[in-house]
Amino acid sequence: MSIETPILGAGGEDTPGTETIKNTTTQDFVRDVVEASQERPVLVDFWAPWCGPCKQLTPVLEKAVRAAKGAVRLVKMNIDDYPEIPGQMGVQSIPAVFAFKDGRPVDGFMGALPESQIAAFIARLVGETAGASADLEAAEAALAAGDVNTAAQVFGQILQEDPENMEALAGLTKCYIKTGDLDRAEQTLALAPPDKTDSAPVASARAALDLARKSGDAGDVDALRAKLAENPGDPQTQFDLALALNASGDRAGALDALLAIVAKNRTWNDDAARKQLVQFFEAWGAADPATAAGRQRLSSLLFA
């Protein structure tokens, strides 16, 4: 049975890893969030002392988490003190809240939501059935294997039973992207309720759709490689090659191309290579091995 514990630093200390509400650091993030979310969902509140809406949101989050009576944890990270993790996750505005489950981010929102919406968000997070989770995993596996029809059918069935399941909606959107039907993908994405348009799954699908449109104009991989061989120092050709490689499914090659630009000239075209990497990470999803590898390599370049 889970027991509610005090906020870290509010008088007395808890056994490490058992706190219901706590602060974390870059060093402890894996233990406090990724590993802890294997046991129960973890909300991560990215905040800063100067952020007014953060001061409004955090007490509401804490109240909602206590009301959940141990079904969910809250971990807070000051982005001023620890910028690496939010930078890797593409956090560009705060407050930003990410929900982790089974070691990966599954949902989230930005801005200071009212208490009722936060309570509903937590209820959906902890109330997800094992059956729905298994169906989602099966659909995602089918999509990754190229079986778009099976994936679309399963995602669609989940949505029929739970129209507010944004992971299923995002998955169905990515099925249409995979088939090149970008209009249907956009129509599906537009079905997201207004209070969920900034959730992590929807943001990922939106990034994938934007990327698909952008990649369509990137050009042919072989032609771009030949052009780059003639002028190895041309960052625009290398950038276009990264988009074309990603469109062809070569995520490792796309990473190599963009990271080479960052390593040589990070400020090129208003930091375009780093920004494109962030969009890749968002579109691929936090659970993709290419995202984890790319974030680690990018961090090594930026924070070395």
**75 sits in which H/E element:** strand 73-78
Instruction: Tell me the torsion sign for CA atoms 193, 194, 200, 204.
Output: positive
Please state, in angstroms and rounded to a whole number, the distance separating the CA atoms of residues 42 and 75. 7
Query: Could you say which of 33, 36, 51, 122 is catalytic?
Result: 51
Q: Is 267 exposed, middle or buried (0-12, 13-18, 19+ CB in 10 A)?
A: exposed
The single residue of 8, 36, 54, 170 carrying the catalytic annotation is 54
Q: CA-to-CA distance for 111 and 92, rounded, in angstroms? A: 12
Cα 255 to Cα 24: distance, rounded to the nearest angstrom: 29
Please report where in the chains the tokens 């104009």 appear, as a residue: 217
54 tagged catalytic: yes
Q: Is the separation of the CB atoms in 209 and 177 below 8 Å?
A: yes
Q: How many CA atoms lie within 13 A of 195 on its CB side?
A: 10
Report the sign of the C-alpha dihedral through residues 52, 57, 63, 65, in that order: negative
Known catalytic residue: 51?
Answer: yes
Residues 202, 129: Cα–Cα separation, whole Å: 20
Cβ within 8 Å of residue 191, ≥6 positions away:
163, 169
Positions marked catalytic:
51, 54
